[in-house]
Chains A and B, each alone.
Chain A
């Protein structure tokens, strides 16, 4: 057997964020996801790739979507999974993250998927336990699997990510989805812009290689893809925007505004949506929307990440899919 690629395609032990990956590593994950897409279409949606591996889904913040998507991915790869959510666990009784790490280490868990409210929490855990750590979203830092599924969705639609113009619209300041997408898109050669009220655009964003649009109309004209972020309604209370109504009027993505867009423009959204706030229903449910394919791709991309971190070779994914492990 020839062993060209190193274990895990050189991803390392963990997936903490896309900032630390190369364009080639990202493309490898996307390529590996391709054969896994098809498993979800089968009658028996299961392959024995991770049989005997234990995975803990550790969710310090509620997130139905991401947790379910990871759980599907894990089960379809035949892993044993345990879900721990912050509610009702020792987490709420003041156990520190370092104690949680020690406990996980003692239990000899193979992989941990963690969602946490604090930026850097995934890095913190990854540095302290031998298990593979997959960041399921840490504070306002990164949400790498979300960005990977977004990249896969865009690649499905456009065939090529190099040179694609993508504008992320909304609350960039507080968004881990935005950060992971910025890194991921830049690394595969896309052009990235952001657009939103200046109060929600972080200082120094241009230094990451991103351009800024002040008006959503300009952003729409420029873009091949528009990535609409969820507006957390508490931003209004915190004084970042005067009102949700005004936000919708100035930055909302409506069918009317999209009339000036390129023919091929697509609209993405990480969900859950505030219809009538950042995105209008006729856009969310319209022909430009790729929001449902995003969800489908989420499972395939997470399967690919789990498979690669567990030591699977990218060129063997097709065989693994057939159950020939």
Chain B
């Protein structure tokens, strides 16, 4: 049993009653007729929490629905996911937020928590009804996919959201610098003749936004950090004690811009894969706690949409079902993080920075639990994903660490079938 939220790391029993954790640790005696689950050989940890996924419903159901996304999340060991509002139409009013909530509850996968749009129609102009959306179940606001480029609007959002105690999640990109860049700007983009986005497009926006966080006292969460200069900005914000948190994706920890060579559209994402120096910088920042969490930026796209010229292919990759394995390979196996550190960055820390009731096995908490084998090696076969999309650059990669069972509120939402049980 591993629960970094309480510094627990040892063998013990866990008792779940009515969807909540009743007791954790030591030898426990369940009530009569209690269902038993043998987890020997497996790590029992608080369910993973992903603050950044794109489920495509409404409007892009051929890529992912809320149901397929929620089940893919459970298969990846996630018990809570925060969905970005850049659907078509966007989630920018309380009715739309209610729709995502309701579909999420019906899905029978991970808990689905909607992020509302920060501006009406994601247009970056007028603030949405933040309070109404929170009342309908929104947990944050964001225009992700687009930056909130208008500094005045972001200032107002960072002020206004304080009434409701929710963060503003920012996709940090100075559009005039990112231009129409389709990958990192540098040696590889020069060789490939592709338009690049410089690190400064991200870091300059983060630097600006940190000033606004300082001015307002609001909670700014910086999405998918990719550039080493951004890390420097975040370090300054941390030193100044500001309410600035941030995330990094598994792919920015695992890959660099060279993955784009051969015009591989499955390695096209925004922010783009950067250089080895950047990759090391974001990894170190995650280990040091300057970056708080791992988030997948799970971005499903249909095969046909990626099967085209690099310039025209959409940005993004799926990530829910490879996140744990990649994080094990990139962080735990090389010794950068302990297993407890990893569970912290993928479960306890996201719950803690967002103030949600998750990421812990403390008695009284919801029984959101993942059982995984940290040593099991497996090969990524996108055809086996529960996600509706297969756009991953990790096809064929061998990963370590595999989810066996995911419980949400004490209810089994995923169980890996042994190969001989496969349909």
Shortest distance between the CB of A322 and any CB in chain B (Å): 40
The answer to the question of B187 belonging to the interface, with a C-beta cut-off of 8 Å to chain A, is yes
Contact A119 B190 (CB under 8 A): no
The answer to the question of A19 belonging to the interface, with a C-beta cut-off of 8 Å to chain B, is yes
A86 to B190, CA, bound (A): 27
* Cβ < 8 Å to B, chain A residues 117-168: 118-121, 123-124, 138-142
Most buried by B among A97, A116, A142, A202: A202
Residues in A neighbouring B312, C-beta threshold 8 A: 118
Contact B309 A124 (CB under 8 A): yes
The answer to the question of B28 belonging to the interface, with a C-beta cut-off of 8 Å to chain A, is no
The SS class assigned to the A binding surface is: mixed
Given contacts A19-B191, A208-B187, contact A203 B263 (CB under 8 A): no
A202 to B187, CA, bound (A): 8
Contact B308 A98 (CB under 8 A): yes
Residues in A neighbouring B304, C-beta threshold 8 A: 98
A41 to B269, CA, bound (A): 52
Contact A205 B190 (CB under 8 A): yes
The answer to the question of B189 belonging to the interface, with a C-beta cut-off of 8 Å to chain A, is yes
Most buried by A among B188, B190, B193, B196: B193
The answer to the question of B194 belonging to the interface, with a C-beta cut-off of 8 Å to chain A, is yes
The answer to the question of B311 belonging to the interface, with a C-beta cut-off of 8 Å to chain A, is yes
Contact A204 B186 (CB under 8 A): yes
The answer to the question of B192 belonging to the interface, with a C-beta cut-off of 8 Å to chain A, is yes
Given contacts A124-B263, A207-B187, contact A139 B193 (CB under 8 A): yes
A172 to B402, CA, bound (A): 48
Residues in A neighbouring B187, C-beta threshold 8 A: 203-204, 207-208
Chain B residue nearest to A175 (CB atoms) is B193
> Among the listed A176, A203, A207, which residue makes an inter-chain contact with B193, where contact means beta carbons less than 8 Å apart?
A176
The answer to the question of B333 belonging to the interface, with a C-beta cut-off of 8 Å to chain A, is no
The answer to the question of B4 belonging to the interface, with a C-beta cut-off of 8 Å to chain A, is no
Task: Give per-residue flags for B167-211: 1 if the beta carbon is below 8 A from chain A beta carbons, else 0.
Answer: 000000000000000000111111111101010000000000000
The answer to the question of B310 belonging to the interface, with a C-beta cut-off of 8 Å to chain A, is yes
Given contacts A120-B263, A179-B191, contact A203 B196 (CB under 8 A): yes
Shortest distance between the CB of B160 and any CB in chain A (Å): 36
A-B CB proximity, top 5 nearest: A120-B263, A141-B193, A140-B193, A204-B187, A118-B309
Residues in A neighbouring B194, C-beta threshold 8 A: 119-120, 139-141
The answer to the question of A2 belonging to the interface, with a C-beta cut-off of 8 Å to chain B, is no
Given contacts A119-B263, A123-B263, contact A203 B190 (CB under 8 A): yes
A139 to B189, CA, bound (A): 13
